[in-house]
Amino acid sequence: MTAVEDRPGTDAPEREVGKARRRKEDARLITGRTTWTDNMVLPGMLHLAVVRSPVSHAKITAIDVSAAQQAPGVVAVYTGRDLADEQGSIPCAWPVTPDMVNPGHPSIAVDEVNHVGEAVAVIVARSKAAAADAIELVDVDYDVLPPVLDMEEAVAEGAQLTHDHLESNTSYHFVFDAGEAGTGTDTEQAFADAEVVVSRRFVNQRLIPAFMEPRSVVVQPQGDNYTMWSATQVPHILRVMLASVTGVPEHKLRIIAPDVGGGFGGKLQVNPEEVIALLLARRLGKPVKWTETRSESLMTAHHGRDQIQYIDVAADREGHVKGLRVRLLADMGAYLRLITPGVPALGAFMFPAIYKFPAYRFECDGVFTNKVPTDAYRGAGRPEATFAIERIMDELAVELGMDPLELRRKNWINAAEFPFTTVAGLEYDSGDYETATQQALELIGYDELRAEQQRRRESNDPVQLGIGFSTFTEMCGLAPSRVLGSLSFGAGGWEHASIRMLPTGKVEVVTGSTPHGQGHETAWSQLVADELGVPFEDVEVLHGDTAISTRGLDTYGSRSLVVGGTAVVKAAEKVVAKARKIAAHLLEASEDDLEFSGGKFSVRGTPGAELGIQEIALAVFAAHNYPEDVEPSIDADATFDPVNFSFPHGTHICAMEVDTETGMVKIRKYACVDDIGTIVNPLIVEGQVHGGLAQGIAQALFEEAVYDADGNLTTGSFVDYLVPSAADLPHFDTGNTVHAAPGNPIGAKGVGEAGCIASTPAVVNAALDAVRHLGVSDIRMPLTPERVWRALHQGGDGGDRATAGTNAYGGAQTESTAGVSTPASSLGGDR
């Protein structure tokens, strides 16, 4: 008798890697019939609601919680003062310089508030409604201080301080100088010798990750043990960090990230509310839950981007680039969260992009302002860098009177030159920029579009057409642990996996890379099906629970397949190696005479002598007959630490219509050819590219977190923070070239962030290409119709937007979504 189902035929099963499998997790994710954290209901569970600051900068002079304490259903009310001795500081794991200034980040404000939405008290009640009702009953007295909102003002002499116990608004000054690092020549000399220098100031605006599932956390105390369910990307990191912040020992803390509805880096965080929930569950001895509202999410979950970029490029008249100089002001917001300071520093290495710059210098100031902290957001540092370099390459082309693609060709790394060490010291693994570009040009129908552009220009058509390029690369597969160490990051970048062969031949794969919608369960099943020769359906992927997946570093930075997938493959190789010993014993053959193919060990030269790996799983479970010198198990685990990043690249081309009468921009066509290495599942890749494009295009055209002069977030709801839907986006023509990544056995390079990184500059370049002949050389993102119109008719870059939210349905703002209003904030005004 065998517990393994017979499979028809003797041919090796069809290879899974490369198959466009529909995702096995989608049915439950899409219908919501699954365990989202907010679906959790525990006996006796209490509900938390957070009282938040309506002012951006103030001393707290008094808090009266008595009315809230008396409210129906309220169990307790806590202020920052009540938790001051145990709440510690939200951790920052990336001190990018030895003297970086960290002001400390209490989970609940104690003496002062530094951004609108900062927690000042927390209500514990028997129902969610009772907790929400009591928020208005907490009376907080604020001694309001002037807010720091503008980075350029914040770093000027005599500036108002975000934190009055610090000496300045600068957290750190990070420098990478290729000349000093020995990876390039002297930058100042390169500029001194240059025939042409182009300098620009770009604004990479503040964005809100706007993940679909709001943040949610449930904590259950059991004696001195605590189980936390959280809508997090990083249960493993959260466990370590919460242990260090709260003093609950790591082995007494179990974190479960059940199904998680998106993150985009926004859930790569140790949230104040997670700390608060743990502290209150400990104090009260009862389960507690906190789930944010959408308004809270937009206002208090960390934001992304927000840089002012001063960039200079040096070149000769023939268009050979000679040097690159970048100075950034990067908005930290009011506090440093998990990797707040590291995001712009990570970008430092991507500004030289695919070009052979001989000289490069990068400087970045991390700047405090009275806004919510920034942190990781899809691409984290690389979209900002890619935007700046791809924009200034266009500006240089204009200055030289060259075709923008010709300029890129002249300077990019040629296919024969890989592996190529850049001026930033990175070794690019593989690629072919020319081939990808050729394919993209064909996909979009380049020559016809250029002809139409010409016709529209000549006829002075009110709707002009432009074509924009982005020939990008990025560093993926975060990350080689030693490299992270050299960048002062607080952890490594390895990943762990284990494979458990069950008695019935089914396979459990445990991954440390916790998904939040990427499709790990499907892709890992495909990998394991090929490695072990078992059916795709026989593989189950477990993740997200620190008691099941004991080691891991989770999902971000396009690392899961490249690092986590490789750990799975390595574990599978070990399973096969262990099974080989058992097979040799049972088949009475030498290990050397065994072949493993299609899930079966067979003895070379002895037809019919074969044993399936799923049968071996049963044999070692029974353990009646196995070799003396091995354990009765073919389970295995593996930890993979990459030696290098992987470097996906691609060419993105956008064709844009600009209505010169209204300023409305509309993408006419979009084509991209990405090289992301070997493709495990083309359907998942297509989905990642589409989603990434949507987010990158959203930065170019729609999204911006806007604060008014008082520091209120006026894009406090989706009425004003415009997340585009499919109806607002064009058809995407996508393609791939494949240069397998040499750094991992799968050959994958990572695709999670590609579309988001590449698309933004292509879109802006396209809009500028449409109107440059009308005298426009820059338009600030997002390219609102008003900004485009102003740039066309008044010159400049379109300027600041009014900061008042729309008047639709009553302004869609309340004191709790947008703080207080003063005359200075009423109609926005320019700041």
Binding residues among 539-568 for another protein as defined by CB under 8 A:
none
Spatial CA neighbour of 652 closest among 473, 773, 776: 473
Contacts of 270 (CB under 8 A, 6+ apart): 90, 91, 237, 238, 241, 242, 245, 337, 338
Using the rule CB under 8 A, is 186 a contact of another protein?
A: no
Spatial CA neighbour of 550 closest among 605, 508, 587, 511: 511
Nearest distance, CB of residue 467 and another protein, angstroms: 23
* Sign (positive or negative) of CA dihedral 192, 196, 201, 203: negative
Using the rule CB under 8 A, is 129 a contact of another protein?
A: yes
Binds another protein by CB under 8 A, chosen from 82, 118, 133, 531: 133
Q: Between the CA atoms of 222, 225, 231 and 237, what dihedral angle is there, to the nearest 10 degrees?
A: 180
Nearer to another protein, 112 or 296 (CB): 296
- Per DSSP, the three-state class of 204 is strand
Binding residues among 134-153 for another protein as defined by CB under 8 A:
136
Residue 642: is the preceding peptide bond cis (ω within 30°)? no
Across 67-195, where does the E strand assignment appear?
74-79, 112-113, 119-125, 139-144, 170-177
Nearest distance, CB of residue 811 and another protein, angstroms: 8
Using the rule CB under 8 A, is 295 a contact of another protein?
A: yes
User: Which amino acid would we find at residue 222?
Assistant: Q
Rg of the chain, C-alpha, whole Å: 28
Nearer to another protein, 752 or 805 (CB): 805
Binds another protein by CB under 8 A, chosen from 467, 611, 689, 706: 706
Nearer to another protein, 164 or 661 (CB): 661
- Per DSSP, the three-state class of 66 is helix
Nearest distance, CB of residue 812 and another protein, angstroms: 7
Nearer to another protein, 90 or 124 (CB): 124
The answer to whether 668 touches 452, Cβ cutoff 8 Å, is no
Using the rule CB under 8 A, is 828 a contact of another protein?
A: yes
Binds another protein by CB under 8 A, chosen from 8, 592, 809, 823: 809
Binds another protein by CB under 8 A, chosen from 10, 460, 486, 725: 725
Binds another protein by CB under 8 A, chosen from 176, 412, 626, 789: 789
Using the rule CB under 8 A, is 390 a contact of another protein?
A: no
Give the Cα separation of 352 and 184 in Å (integer).
Answer: 11
**DSSP secondary structure of 246-260:** H---GGGEEEE--S-
Using the rule CB under 8 A, is 126 a contact of another protein?
A: no
Binding region for another protein (CB under 8 A) out of 94-102, 308-316, 465-473, 720-728: 720-728
Binding residues among 192-221 for another protein as defined by CB under 8 A:
none
Q: Which two tokens stand for residue 309?
A: 């970029």
Binding residues among 658-677 for another protein as defined by CB under 8 A:
661-662, 664
Give the Cα separation of 694 and 688 in Å (integer).
Answer: 10
Binds another protein by CB under 8 A, chosen from 70, 199, 814, 822: 814
Distance of CA 102 to the CA centre of its chain: 23
Distances (CA, A) of 768 to 115, 453, 655, 699, 789: 35, 13, 11, 16, 12
Contacts of 814 (CB under 8 A, 6+ apart): none
Using the rule CB under 8 A, is 300 a contact of another protein?
A: no
Distance of CA 583 to the CA centre of its chain: 44
Using the rule CB under 8 A, is 473 a contact of another protein?
A: no
Give the Cα separation of 273 and 231 in Å (integer).
Answer: 12
* Phi/psi of residue 194, nearest 5 degrees: -75, 145
Using the rule CB under 8 A, is 803 a contact of another protein?
A: yes
Give the Cα separation of 120 and 99 in Å (integer).
Answer: 30
Binds another protein by CB under 8 A, chosen from 3, 161, 719, 820: 719
Binds another protein by CB under 8 A, chosen from 61, 199, 225, 806: 806
Binding region for another protein (CB under 8 A) out of 115-123, 300-308, 537-545, 796-804: 796-804
User: How many amino acids of this chain bind another protein (CB under 8 A)?
Assistant: 47
Strand 636-640 relative to strand 610-612, pairing: unpaired
The answer to whether 252 touches 225, Cβ cutoff 8 Å, is yes
Binding region for another protein (CB under 8 A) out of 167-175, 412-420, 612-620, 803-811: 803-811
Using the rule CB under 8 A, is 41 a contact of another protein?
A: no
Using the rule CB under 8 A, is 73 a contact of another protein?
A: no
Nearest distance, CB of residue 125 and another protein, angstroms: 11
Using the rule CB under 8 A, is 128 a contact of another protein?
A: yes
Using the rule CB under 8 A, is 35 a contact of another protein?
A: no
Nearer to another protein, 337 or 787 (CB): 787
Nearer to another protein, 553 or 706 (CB): 706
Question: Dmax of the chain from CA atoms?
Answer: 90
Buried b (16+ CB within 10 A) or exposed e, 272-306: bbbbbbbbbbbbeebbbbbbbeebbbbbbbbbbbb
Using the rule CB under 8 A, is 822 a contact of another protein?
A: no
Across 677-739, where does the E strand assignment appear?
732-736
Binds another protein by CB under 8 A, chosen from 702, 737, 752, 768: 702
Residue 782: is the preceding peptide bond cis (ω within 30°)? yes
Binds another protein by CB under 8 A, chosen from 802, 822, 824, 831: 802
The answer to whether 145 touches 58, Cβ cutoff 8 Å, is yes
Nearer to another protein, 550 or 662 (CB): 662
Using the rule CB under 8 A, is 727 a contact of another protein?
A: yes
Distances (CA, A) of 13 to 48, 328, 396, 564: 52, 53, 54, 24
Using the rule CB under 8 A, is 67 a contact of another protein?
A: no
Nearer to another protein, 620 or 764 (CB): 764
Nearest distance, CB of residue 714 and another protein, angstroms: 6
Binding region for another protein (CB under 8 A) out of 17-25, 118-126, 346-354, 715-723: 715-723
Binding region for another protein (CB under 8 A) out of 226-234, 390-398, 725-733, 736-744: 725-733
Nearest distance, CB of residue 621 and another protein, angstroms: 51
Give the Cα separation of 496 and 493 in Å (integer).
Answer: 10
Q: Write each residue from 745 to 784 as x if it is in contact with another protein (CB under 8 A), else as -, in one continuous string.
A: ---------------------------------------x
Nearest distance, CB of residue 719 and another protein, angstroms: 8
- Per DSSP, the three-state class of 16 is coil
Binds another protein by CB under 8 A, chosen from 402, 801, 820, 821: 801
Distances (CA, A) of 242 to 193, 259, 381, 546, 625: 53, 21, 26, 13, 46
Using the rule CB under 8 A, is 831 a contact of another protein?
A: no
Return the H-helix or E-strand segment holding 13.
Answer: none
Using the rule CB under 8 A, is 824 a contact of another protein?
A: no
Nearer to another protein, 294 or 327 (CB): 294
Nearer to another protein, 31 or 725 (CB): 725
Binds another protein by CB under 8 A, chosen from 39, 97, 102, 293: 293
Using the rule CB under 8 A, is 286 a contact of another protein?
A: no
The answer to whether 312 touches 192, Cβ cutoff 8 Å, is no
Nearest distance, CB of residue 293 and another protein, angstroms: 4
Nearer to another protein, 1 or 808 (CB): 808
Q: Which residues bind another protein (CB under 8 A)?
A: 128-129, 132-133, 136, 293-295, 661-662, 664, 702, 706, 714-715, 717, 719-720, 722-725, 727-728, 784-786, 789-790, 801-814, 816-817, 827-828
